[in-house]
Structure formats: structure tokens, C-alpha cells
A = this chain, B = another copy of it.
């Protein structure tokens, strides 16, 4: 692209580094910002700088937090004997949005992926083992992606947590609510038949 201004080019280049944003979208965003007031743009820039500078990770569950212990780990109402293990902070938000889980979380910070050079030592696995071995935990729910990396991580965590004898569970896999059978993939559909559950009225809300 032919830029009439170096400043413009640099701003477009910075936006285009973000995932899923190409040169044309970046240009549109930058021209949008140029139409805003100086104060608004300053606030945007400062927010990003402050975000990176001031944000913390919870010392217990490693979730993104403003304090050293996050609001979920601090809440007296949450069941500390029930830990849900997730890949990242986005999964915590997704599960929180369901309003169906009242335990606490453990954010691994990724999944084991030899292809991308991520081993168990790169993730918050040791701290999870320590939490589980502390004796207060009654169940660990694994809410990991149903991918090769997710399954590898699940298998590794199972091996590491076995000595503690704490029950391990995984979230249910199957046909999504509202999903039509004909559009479901064979693996999911096949598994959903094998792992079928007895019918009860309470399942359908």
C-alpha cells in the first residue's frame, strides 16, 4: 500500500499485527480513530499500556486479575473443594457466563503441545498438583478442548493427579443443544451414542 504518511503507516502496521486483522481492516480502524477526539484516542492508547503494566495473575488459580488473589478465589460463597481446570482466562469467562459452576478454577495457561514446543513445565501444572494434594479438594473437573493437545494434557494431568486419589471428571461431550443430528460430525455423534445417559425430565429445562 502507498501511504501518504509515515505515522499512518506505522499505526496500520501495528493494528495489522493483531490476529485476524489484515492491512485493509487495519487502515479502516486507524482512519476511524483519526476521526475521534484526541482525548478518546489518548484514553485508548493509555488503557492498553496500563493493561499490560498493571494486570496481575491470581496467585492461586492463575486467572487474570486486578489483585494478587482473584475475585473468584476470594469469594466465600465459592466451593473451594471443587476445581475446574481450563486452558486460559477466556474459558473461565465462558464458564462463568453459564452461571452453572460454583467451584473455583485453575488456569493452565495453555495445553501440552510438542508441535509448538509447549511441555508440562511451561504450564501451571505443579501448582495444580499442590492444590489437589493439599487435601481440601474433593473433585477436579477437566474442561479442556476436545483436541489432540487437550487429550494429551488430560492424560498427563490424570497421571500426575492419580496419587492424590481425588475423583477426576471431564465436561460432557455430545450433540449441542439446538444442534441437528444431520449436521453433527461422525465422531461426536458416535460418542454421544456410546456415552448415552438415562432420560430424566430434569435434563430438559
Contacts and interface: CB of A to CB of B under 8 A. Distances in A.
Interface of A: 1-8, 10-11, 14, 18-21, 25, 27-34, 36, 38, 41-55, 58, 63-66, 70-72, 88-90, 92-93, 96-97
A28 B19 CA distance: 8
Which 3 A-B pairs give the minimum distances between C-beta atoms? A45-B45, A2-B96, A41-B52
Contacts of A72: 4
A7 B66 CA distance: 7
Contacts of A11: 47-48, 51
Given A19-B28, A19-B29, A66-B5, A48 B44 contact: yes
A4 B52 contact: no
Given A41-B52, A48-B11, A65 B5 contact: yes
B4 A63 contact: yes
A41 B34 contact: no
Given A7-B54, A42-B52, A45-B46, A27 B90 contact: yes
Contacts of A36: 52
Contacts of A20: 25, 28
Given A20-B28, A33-B52, A42-B52, 19 more contacts: A1-B97, A2-B96, A2-B97, A3-B93, A4-B58, A4-B64, A5-B65, A6-B66, A18-B29, A18-B33, A20-B25, A33-B48, A33-B51, A34-B52, A34-B64, A36-B52, A41-B51, A44-B48, A48-B48
A10 B66 contact: no
A88 B11 CA distance: 18
Contact of A27 (B18, B27, B43, B93): B93
Given A4-B71, A44-B14, A96-B2, A38 B51 contact: no
Given A32-B18, A66-B5, A52 B27 contact: no
A47 B10 CA distance: 7
A167 B34 CA distance: 34
